[in-house]
Amino acid sequence: EVQLVQSGAEVKKPGESLKISCKTSGYSFSTYWIGWVRQMPGKGLEWMGIIYPGDSDTRYSPSFEGQVIMSADKSINTAYLQWSSLKTSDTAMYYCARLGLATIWSSWFDPWGQGTLVIVSS
């Protein structure tokens, strides 16, 4: 069974750094793109970008380029999303999700992680 298990909720102050994780199992981690999706409180889904763990190729949405960094560690089948300086506007639920087709980045998301709630407040 393919599973994506995300790290727990975080409460941070503006200006702090943060790295959240998405641990995967049940499939070949290196051969499927993994993406991140933001959902701000009470709002819809926003596609942030995707990473191919095989070679760490990344594709960012222009809205998130330069704001976050996606990475992956093949040795522990885990993807990461990190911020160097959080803003209050980063408060949201963040989902990781695997793309549906091996090696193909033009694909739907399935399955999804359970989400990581990030709260940024002074």
By CB under 8 A, residue 53 contacts other proteins: no
Interacting residue with other proteins among 20, 49, 78, 79 (CB under 8 A): 49
By the 8 A CB rule, do 80 and 116 touch?
Answer: no
By CB under 8 A, residue 115 contacts other proteins: yes
By CB under 8 A, residue 106 contacts other proteins: yes
By CB under 8 A, residue 45 contacts other proteins: yes
Distance CA(97)–CA(79), nearest Å, equals: 10
Percentages helix, strand, coil for the chain, rounded to the nearest 5? 5, 50, 40
For residue 68 the two structure tokens come to: 């976050």
For residue 119 the two structure tokens come to: 């709260």
Interacting residue with other proteins among 92, 113, 118, 120 (CB under 8 A): 113
Distance CA(4)–CA(77), nearest Å, equals: 10
CB under 8 A: which stretch of 15-23, 24-32, 58-66, 77-85 binds other proteins? 58-66
The residues that touch other proteins, with contacts defined as CB under 8 A, are 35, 37, 44-47, 49, 59, 61-63, 95, 97, 100, 105-115
